[in-house]
Amino acid sequence: MAANSSSSTGSKSGGGKQSGPSAEQVVSNFQRMRQEQRSMASKAAEFEMDINEHGLVIETLKEVDPGRKCFRLMGGVLVERTVKEVLPALESNKEQIGKLLESLNTQMQNKGRELTEYREKYNIRLVGEEDKSKGAGSSSNKEAGDAGSSKPGAGVLVS
């Protein structure tokens, strides 16, 4: 009995894979990619806020006596330092966060291109875009729909 069940499951999975990803797989991949882009955007906004906060603190500390005490939170521990010790570290941190932000923006642009290519490849339409595309260029959409009708997953509608 065990030999029969393994051969039958093997033939089922082998036949389904050849036709390409199902509509559900296309939608889940698209949703995953959109979520990755959203999380990158959220992280970029967080970095921008950190840069602004660093800038405010740096501007404030530049006007203060370099020998004056100040406190810095490091890994959850409040540490006493002087302004002349903290100021260069803050400026360095601000530069590093700026570099990370640039890198993250580049990654977001790449992810956006990847999403656009994926949408075009599988003819994915978002719910709000359906009405707009019909009115804007119905002849080109009809041609794309006719050409994509032989493809599995063509015309996937994502909310």
Domains of the chain: 22-121 (1.10.287.370), 122-159 (no CATH)
Beta strand spans in 1-118 (E)? 69-74, 77-82
Residue pair 157/26 in contact (Cβ under 8 Å)? The answer is: no
Residue pair 86/72 in contact (Cβ under 8 Å)? The answer is: yes
- Give 68-121 pLDDT, tens digit per residue: 999 999 999 999 999 999 999 999 999 999 999 999 999 999 999 999 999 999
Task: Kindly report each contact of residues 45-54 with a partner whose C-beta sits within 8 Å and lies 24 or more positions away, as own/partner.
Answer: 47/97, 47/100, 47/101, 47/104, 48/101, 50/97, 51/94, 51/97, 51/98, 51/101, 54/90, 54/91, 54/93, 54/94, 54/97
Burial of 72 (0-12, 13-18, 19+ CB in 10 A): middle
pLDDT at 143: 39
> Tokens representing 145?
């729909």
Q: Using CA atoms, how far apart are residues 105 and 43, in angstroms rounded to an integer? A: 10
- Give 116-128 pLDDT, tens digit per residue: 999 999 998 888 8
Residue pair 20/152 in contact (Cβ under 8 Å)? The answer is: yes
- Give 8-67 pLDDT, tens digit per residue: 444 444 444 457 789 899 999 999 999 999 999 999 999 999 999 999 999 999 999 999
Q: SS3 of 63, please?
A: coil
pTM of the model: 0.69
